[in-house]
Amino acid sequence: MNTGTGTTSEHLTIVKHPLVQHKLSIMRDKATSTAKFRQLLREISMLLAYEVTRHLPLTTERIDTPICEMDAPTLQGRKLALISILRAGNGLLDGILELVPSARVGFVGLYRDPETLQPVQYYCKLPSELADRVVIVVDPMLATGNSSAKAIDLLKEAGAKNIIFLCLLAAPEGVQRMKEAHPDVPVVTAAVDDHLNDHGYIVPGLGDAGDRLYGTK
Protein backbone atom coordinates (compact mmCIF):
# COMPACT_ATOMS: atom_id res chain seq x y z
CA MET A 1 0.00 0.00 0.00
CA ASN A 2 1.33 3.48 -0.79
CA THR A 3 0.10 5.95 1.80
CA GLY A 4 1.56 9.06 0.15
CA THR A 5 4.34 9.55 2.67
CA GLY A 6 5.09 5.88 3.19
CA THR A 7 5.21 2.51 1.47
CA THR A 8 3.65 -0.13 3.62
CA SER A 9 3.50 -3.91 3.68
CA GLU A 10 2.27 -5.84 6.68
CA HIS A 11 5.80 -6.21 8.04
CA LEU A 12 7.65 -3.16 6.68
CA THR A 13 6.83 0.56 6.50
CA ILE A 14 9.22 2.88 4.66
CA VAL A 15 8.59 6.50 5.63
CA LYS A 16 9.11 8.40 2.39
CA HIS A 17 8.14 11.82 3.67
CA PRO A 18 10.29 14.43 1.85
CA LEU A 19 11.55 15.99 5.10
CA VAL A 20 12.69 12.59 6.37
CA GLN A 21 14.43 11.78 3.08
CA HIS A 22 16.12 15.19 2.88
CA LYS A 23 17.44 15.04 6.44
CA LEU A 24 18.61 11.45 5.93
CA SER A 25 20.63 12.46 2.85
CA ILE A 26 22.46 15.11 4.89
CA MET A 27 23.16 12.53 7.59
CA ARG A 28 24.61 10.13 5.03
CA ASP A 29 27.15 12.73 3.83
CA LYS A 30 30.49 12.03 5.51
CA ALA A 31 31.19 15.78 5.61
CA THR A 32 28.28 16.32 8.03
CA SER A 33 29.57 17.23 11.50
CA THR A 34 28.80 15.31 14.70
CA ALA A 35 26.70 18.20 16.01
CA LYS A 36 24.65 18.41 12.82
CA PHE A 37 24.27 14.62 12.63
CA ARG A 38 22.94 14.54 16.21
CA GLN A 39 20.52 17.38 15.57
CA LEU A 40 19.22 15.75 12.37
CA LEU A 41 18.73 12.39 14.09
CA ARG A 42 16.71 14.13 16.78
CA GLU A 43 14.56 15.86 14.16
CA ILE A 44 14.05 12.71 12.06
CA SER A 45 13.18 10.69 15.15
CA MET A 46 10.26 13.04 15.82
CA LEU A 47 9.00 12.60 12.27
CA LEU A 48 9.40 8.81 12.51
CA ALA A 49 7.68 8.84 15.90
CA TYR A 50 4.65 10.34 14.21
CA GLU A 51 4.51 7.33 11.87
CA VAL A 52 5.32 4.66 14.45
CA THR A 53 2.61 5.85 16.85
CA ARG A 54 -0.02 6.12 14.12
CA HIS A 55 -2.00 3.09 15.35
CA LEU A 56 -1.90 3.69 19.11
CA PRO A 57 -5.34 3.01 20.55
CA LEU A 58 -7.45 5.97 21.63
CA THR A 59 -10.20 6.35 24.16
CA THR A 60 -12.11 9.47 25.16
CA GLU A 61 -12.12 11.54 28.32
CA ARG A 62 -14.84 13.97 29.35
CA ILE A 63 -13.35 17.45 29.61
CA ASP A 64 -14.59 21.03 29.76
CA THR A 65 -13.38 23.36 27.04
CA PRO A 66 -13.96 27.08 27.68
CA ILE A 67 -17.09 26.66 25.55
CA CYS A 68 -18.70 23.35 26.53
CA GLU A 69 -18.14 19.75 27.63
CA MET A 70 -16.77 17.25 25.16
CA ASP A 71 -15.53 13.66 24.91
CA ALA A 72 -11.93 14.36 23.93
CA PRO A 73 -9.67 11.69 22.35
CA THR A 74 -6.80 10.57 24.60
CA LEU A 75 -4.29 7.73 24.43
CA GLN A 76 -5.65 4.51 25.90
CA GLY A 77 -3.97 2.04 28.21
CA ARG A 78 -0.64 2.01 29.95
CA LYS A 79 2.17 4.36 28.99
CA LEU A 80 4.19 3.48 25.93
CA ALA A 81 7.52 1.70 26.48
CA LEU A 82 10.52 2.85 24.45
CA ILE A 83 13.46 0.47 24.41
CA SER A 84 16.77 1.81 23.20
CA ILE A 85 19.41 -0.57 21.92
CA LEU A 86 22.62 0.99 23.23
CA ARG A 87 24.30 3.08 22.31
CA ALA A 88 23.10 4.50 18.98
CA GLY A 89 19.47 3.84 19.94
CA ASN A 90 19.69 6.79 22.32
CA GLY A 91 19.93 9.14 19.35
CA LEU A 92 16.46 8.05 18.21
CA LEU A 93 15.12 7.82 21.75
CA ASP A 94 15.73 11.47 22.66
CA GLY A 95 13.56 12.90 19.88
CA ILE A 96 10.71 10.47 20.50
CA LEU A 97 10.75 11.31 24.21
CA GLU A 98 10.17 14.94 23.34
CA LEU A 99 6.91 13.95 21.67
CA VAL A 100 5.91 11.31 24.22
CA PRO A 101 7.48 12.53 27.47
CA SER A 102 5.46 10.18 29.67
CA ALA A 103 6.79 7.04 27.95
CA ARG A 104 8.60 4.47 30.07
CA VAL A 105 12.15 3.79 28.92
CA GLY A 106 14.30 0.67 28.88
CA PHE A 107 17.80 -0.06 27.64
CA VAL A 108 19.32 -3.15 26.10
CA GLY A 109 23.10 -3.20 25.74
CA LEU A 110 24.35 -5.43 22.97
CA TYR A 111 27.64 -5.28 21.15
CA ARG A 112 28.44 -7.00 17.94
CA ASP A 113 31.29 -9.49 18.04
CA PRO A 114 33.42 -8.15 15.15
CA GLU A 115 34.30 -11.63 13.92
CA THR A 116 31.07 -13.59 14.24
CA LEU A 117 28.83 -10.46 13.92
CA GLN A 118 26.69 -12.12 16.63
CA PRO A 119 25.21 -9.94 19.42
CA VAL A 120 26.57 -10.23 22.96
CA GLN A 121 24.40 -8.83 25.80
CA TYR A 122 26.08 -6.67 28.47
CA TYR A 123 23.11 -4.72 29.90
CA CYS A 124 19.34 -4.98 30.20
CA LYS A 125 16.99 -2.75 32.22
CA LEU A 126 13.32 -2.80 31.26
CA PRO A 127 10.13 -1.06 32.43
CA SER A 128 7.52 -3.08 34.35
CA GLU A 129 4.30 -4.52 32.90
CA LEU A 130 5.62 -4.84 29.38
CA ALA A 131 2.78 -7.21 28.52
CA ASP A 132 0.28 -4.35 28.80
CA ARG A 133 2.23 -1.76 26.84
CA VAL A 134 2.93 -0.93 23.24
CA VAL A 135 6.71 -1.42 23.08
CA ILE A 136 8.77 0.51 20.53
CA VAL A 137 12.34 -0.71 20.08
CA VAL A 138 14.71 1.89 18.64
CA ASP A 139 18.03 1.39 16.89
CA PRO A 140 19.09 3.60 13.96
CA MET A 141 20.68 0.79 11.92
CA LEU A 142 19.02 -2.54 11.06
CA ALA A 143 22.07 -4.26 9.57
CA THR A 144 22.36 -8.05 9.96
CA GLY A 145 19.27 -7.99 12.17
CA ASN A 146 21.04 -10.19 14.74
CA SER A 147 21.10 -7.55 17.52
CA SER A 148 17.53 -6.47 16.86
CA ALA A 149 16.24 -10.05 16.83
CA LYS A 150 18.14 -10.76 20.06
CA ALA A 151 16.78 -7.61 21.77
CA ILE A 152 13.26 -8.61 20.81
CA ASP A 153 13.87 -12.15 22.15
CA LEU A 154 14.72 -10.53 25.51
CA LEU A 155 11.61 -8.34 25.42
CA LYS A 156 9.34 -11.26 24.62
CA GLU A 157 10.92 -13.24 27.47
CA ALA A 158 10.03 -10.27 29.70
CA GLY A 159 6.41 -10.49 28.56
CA ALA A 160 6.18 -7.94 25.72
CA LYS A 161 3.55 -8.87 23.15
CA ASN A 162 2.89 -5.74 21.14
CA ILE A 163 6.27 -4.70 19.73
CA ILE A 164 7.26 -2.35 16.90
CA PHE A 165 10.84 -1.94 15.67
CA LEU A 166 11.89 1.56 14.59
CA CYS A 167 15.11 2.29 12.73
CA LEU A 168 16.49 4.96 10.44
CA LEU A 169 18.16 2.76 7.85
CA ALA A 170 17.79 -0.93 7.07
CA ALA A 171 19.64 -3.45 4.95
CA PRO A 172 17.53 -6.00 3.04
CA GLU A 173 19.35 -8.74 4.96
CA GLY A 174 18.23 -7.24 8.30
CA VAL A 175 14.63 -6.83 7.18
CA GLN A 176 14.59 -10.48 6.08
CA ARG A 177 16.18 -11.70 9.33
CA MET A 178 13.60 -9.79 11.39
CA LYS A 179 10.75 -11.11 9.28
CA GLU A 180 11.94 -14.68 9.87
CA ALA A 181 12.76 -14.27 13.59
CA HIS A 182 9.82 -12.05 14.58
CA PRO A 183 7.10 -11.99 11.89
CA ASP A 184 4.72 -10.38 14.41
CA VAL A 185 6.96 -7.30 14.84
CA PRO A 186 6.43 -4.54 12.25
CA VAL A 187 9.55 -2.68 11.10
CA VAL A 188 9.37 1.07 10.43
CA THR A 189 12.32 2.72 8.66
CA ALA A 190 13.21 5.74 6.52
CA ALA A 191 15.01 3.66 3.87
CA VAL A 192 16.08 0.16 2.87
CA ASP A 193 19.56 0.39 1.32
CA ASP A 194 21.30 -1.90 -1.14
CA HIS A 195 23.24 -4.48 0.85
CA LEU A 196 25.65 -5.19 3.73
CA ASN A 197 29.39 -5.19 3.12
CA ASP A 198 31.78 -7.85 4.46
CA HIS A 199 32.14 -5.92 7.74
CA GLY A 200 28.40 -5.82 8.33
CA TYR A 201 28.01 -2.15 7.35
CA ILE A 202 25.02 -0.95 5.37
CA VAL A 203 25.85 0.19 1.80
CA PRO A 204 25.60 3.05 0.91
CA GLY A 205 24.53 3.68 4.53
CA LEU A 206 25.93 6.41 6.73
CA GLY A 207 28.83 4.65 8.46
CA ASP A 208 28.82 3.77 12.15
CA ALA A 209 25.79 5.52 13.62
CA GLY A 210 27.18 5.47 17.18
CA ASP A 211 30.53 6.97 16.11
CA ARG A 212 28.85 9.64 14.00
CA LEU A 213 26.41 10.48 16.80
CA TYR A 214 28.99 10.73 19.57
CA GLY A 215 32.13 11.70 17.62
CA THR A 216 34.06 8.54 18.49
CA LYS A 217 36.04 6.24 16.23
Cite the active site residues.
Answer: 112, 116, 208, 211
Q: How far is the CB of 143 from ligand URA (least distance, A)?
A: 4
Going by C-alpha positions, the residue among 41, 23, 39, 13 that lies closest to residue 166 is 13
CB closer to ligand URA, 159 vs 200:
200
Q: Residue 111 Cβ, how far from ligand URA at the closest point, in Å? A: 11
Compare residues 130 and 170 and give the one whose CB is closer to ligand URA: 170
Sequence letter at residue 50: Y
Q: From the CB of residue 1, how many other CB atoms can be counted at a distance below 10 Å?
A: 8
Q: Confirm if 142 and 125 have CB atoms less than 8 A apart.
A: no
Give the nearer residue to ligand URA in terms of CB position, either 153 or 173.
Answer: 173
Q: How many CB atoms lie within 10 A of CB 61?
A: 11
Using DSSP, how many helices (H) and how many strands (E) does the chain show? 6, 15
Angle between helices 172-181 and 146-157 (to 10 degrees): 30
Residue 209 near residue 91, CB atoms below 8 Å: yes
Query: How do 195-196 and 187-189 pair as beta strands?
Result: unpaired
Residues forming the site for ligand URA (CB under 6 A): 88, 141, 143, 200-202, 205, 208-210
How many whole angstroms from its chain centre is CA 209? Answer: 13
**Min separation Cβ 122 and ligand URA, Å:** 17
Minimal distance, residue 189 CB to ligand URA, in Å:
13
